[in-house]
């Protein structure tokens, strides 16, 4: 394994431009999935031992503390930004990708882009980090993969503090279909970036066949670091690049606006506590009233709007039962005179409907919120049981891919258990439902199994508008 720095990054061509345009369109069409409490709970537990285990893959990939996907909107690239990076070889693809997030584009215009040009190469595969955008809230890493004789797929990502060898806790997404793109990571509250961070990328490597296909066997020969050995799916190898950060560029640059305004939607109350505007993103913190009759899972169709009606789009959230943090594109470098939070719909369910009861012997659902949850099948394997569910979705459902169930479950006697990391959610574009698959240990359970609902496609609607600034 060899890590090199200051690579010549010039490689633009027409095929690359087409591929990047398609990547941007995929980002733009991608629905914003919702986080679930199990990721937060796991992140807290694992943070106590200084390690972060990769969470389930749902769409692309994301990690244990929260999950997030960048919702990139199709704005035109500004000439100022294009001119700002035109003197850096190979920056064309970065220009094309950050144009879909106006906050990132404005940050790059204001010299927040830090060129790196470091790479790691082994097993015939090179991982290059071209540069980063970073602040105290978010880090965006521009990367490329190159392999002449193999096909590679990203299986996971970790960001490591080299001084402690601990994983930096946060949530990330990336475009796993392309050999170049952006890794976008939101830091968990309390996490801090040091002067150096190390990107570790797990890859599956498939040798190409002479007929243009690929073999099924992995081609990597690397010895996996200990923290990667229990990953699912397990990578063939791990590529590692150390990134030097100029922390003076972004430390102490956030602006905080206290709000403290209570909102009521269909009898359910929440408090918009404050907004923190960072150079790369904005966070709105919301507290949930514990006396509500319904469990508020998430806030749908949220956006920040300035006095001119210009929108800063929501690109993710960290959700909990009592507090939620919602993330938006940043207005930091074009700070408006007035800034509002607007929304119209909450994903919510009555608190007495938050469990699904399953009879394993009969393979039937005993109790559920409604008939939209269907148990398709129960599959027994050597050491585990696989439960396959279908969940019907409303026609206007925007977040169509998330875990309905928490990882923890119990039996009729009150014994607590946890599902495995093999659980996942999926949906085909032509389906009016999503699938949730849960893997549980094969054990002698007492009575029926009860699964807690953490997200469900049911809504209450009423428009609201809160002044942030």
Residue found by looking up tokens 């943090």 in the block:
325
Contact assessment for residue 242 and residue 198, using Cβ atoms and an 8 Å cutoff: yes
Could you give the residue ranges of the DSSP H alpha helices within 50-187? 79-85, 92-98, 102-109
Q: Which two tokens stand for residue 340?
A: 């509002």
Each residue of 368-417: pLDDT tens digit?
999 999 999 999 988 899 999 999 998 887 677 788 999 999 999 999 99
The predicted pLDDT at position 234 comes to: 86
The predicted pLDDT at position 88 comes to: 56
Number of C-beta neighbours around residue 449 at 10 A:
21
Each residue of 414-430: pLDDT tens digit?
999 999 766 778 888 78
Residue found by looking up tokens 């204001």 in the block:
110
pLDDT confidence tier of residue 293, bands split at 50, 70 and 90: very high
Contact assessment for residue 304 and residue 468, using Cβ atoms and an 8 Å cutoff: yes
- Please state the rounded mean pLDDT for residues 24-43: 40
User: Domain 352-453 maps to which CATH number in 2.20.25, 2.60.40, 3.30.1490, 2.40.360?
Assistant: 2.60.40
pLDDT confidence tier of residue 53, bands split at 50, 70 and 90: very low
| pLDDT for residue 154 is more than 60 | yes
Nearest to 389 by CA among 399, 404, 407: 404
Contact assessment for residue 394 and residue 457, using Cβ atoms and an 8 Å cutoff: yes
The partner residues of 379 in beta bridges, in order of sequence, read: 386
Contact assessment for residue 325 and residue 382, using Cβ atoms and an 8 Å cutoff: no
> What b/e string do you get for 407-442 counting C-beta neighbours within 10 Å, with b at 16 or more?
bebbbeeeeeeebebebbbebeeeeebbbbbbbbee
Each residue of 442-467: pLDDT tens digit?
999 999 999 999 999 999 999 999 99
CA pair distance 407, 45, nearest whole angstrom = 14
Could you give the residue ranges of the DSSP H alpha helices within 269-320? none
CATH class belonging to 255-351+459-467 = mainly beta
Nearest to 454 by CA among 14, 4, 39, 26: 39
Cis peptide before 135 (omega within 30 of 0): no
Mapping DSSP to helix (H, G, I), strand (E, B) and coil, where does residue 318 land? Answer: strand
Provide the percentage of residues in the chain whose pLDDT is more than 70.
75
Q: Which two tokens stand for residue 306?
A: 């300035």
Each residue of 57-94: pLDDT tens digit?
333 333 323 333 333 333 344 555 555 555 555 566 66
- Please state the rounded mean pLDDT for residues 15-42: 41
Domain boundaries, the chain: 2-249, 255-351+459-467, 352-453
Is the pTM higher than 0.95? Answer: no
Q: Show the beta-strand stretches assigned E in 148-254.
A: 150-161, 166-167, 170-173, 180-187, 196-207, 237-244
DSSP structural state of residue 310: -
Domains 255-351+459-467 and 352-453 share a fold: yes
């Amino acid at each position: 394994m060899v890590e090199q720095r200051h690579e010549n990054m010039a490689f633009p061509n027409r095929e690359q431009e087409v591929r990047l345009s398609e990547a941007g369109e995929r980002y733009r069409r991608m629905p914003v999935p919702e986080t679930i409490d199990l990721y937060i709970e796991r992140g807290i537990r694992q943070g106590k031992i200084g390690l972060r285990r990769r969470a389930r893959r749902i769409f692309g990939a994301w990690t244990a503390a929260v999950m997030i996907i960048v919702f990139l909107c199709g704005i035109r690239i500004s000439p100022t930004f294009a001119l700002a990076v035109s003197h850096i070889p190979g920056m064309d693809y970065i220009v094309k990708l950050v144009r879909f997030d106006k906050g990132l584009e404005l940050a790059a215009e204001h010299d927040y882009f830090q060129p790196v040009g470091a790479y790691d190469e082994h097993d015939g595969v090179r991982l290059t980090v071209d540069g980063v955008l970073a602040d105290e809230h978010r880090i965006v890493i521009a990367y490329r993969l190159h392999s002449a004789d193999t096909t590679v797929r990203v299986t996971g990502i970790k960001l490591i503090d080299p001084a402690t060898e601990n994983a930096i806790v946060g949530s990330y997404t990336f475009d796993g279909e392309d050999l170049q793109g952006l890794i976008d990571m939101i830091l968990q509250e309390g996490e801090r970036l040091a002067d150096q961070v190390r990107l570790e990328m797990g890859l599956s490597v498939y040798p190409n066949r002479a007929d243009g296909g690929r073999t099924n066997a992995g081609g990597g020969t690397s010895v996996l670091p200990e923290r990667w050995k229990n990953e699912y799916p397990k990578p063939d190898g791990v590529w590692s690049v150390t990134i030097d950060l100029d922390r003076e560029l972004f430390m102490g640059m956030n602006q905080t606006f206290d709000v403290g305004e209570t909102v009521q939607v269909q009898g359910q109350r929440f408090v918009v506590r404050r907004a923190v505007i960072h150079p790369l993103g904005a966070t709105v913190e919301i507290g949930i009233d514990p006396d509500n009759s319904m469990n508020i899972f998430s806030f749908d169709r949220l956006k920040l709007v300035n006095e001119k009606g210009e929108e800063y789009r929501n690109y993710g959230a960290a959700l909990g039962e009592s507090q939620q943090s919602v993330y938006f594109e940043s207005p930091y470098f074009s700070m408006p005179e007035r800034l509002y939070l607007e929304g119209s719909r909450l994903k919510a369910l009555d608190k007495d409907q938050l469990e699904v009861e399953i009879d394993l012997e009969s393979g039937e659902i005993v109790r559920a919120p409604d008939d939209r949850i269907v148990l398709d099948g129960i599959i027994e394997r050597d050491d585990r049981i696989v439960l396959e569910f279908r969940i019907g979705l409303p026609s206007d459902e925007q977040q169509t891919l998330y875990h309905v169930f928490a990882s923890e479950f119990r039996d009729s006697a009150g014994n607590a258990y946890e599902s495995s990391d093999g659980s996942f959610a999926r949906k085909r574009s032509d389906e009016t439902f999503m699938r949730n698959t849960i893997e549980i240990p094969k054990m002698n359970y007492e009575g029926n199994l009860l699964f807690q609902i953490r997200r469900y496609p049911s809504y209450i609607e009423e428009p609201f508008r809160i002044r942030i600034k």
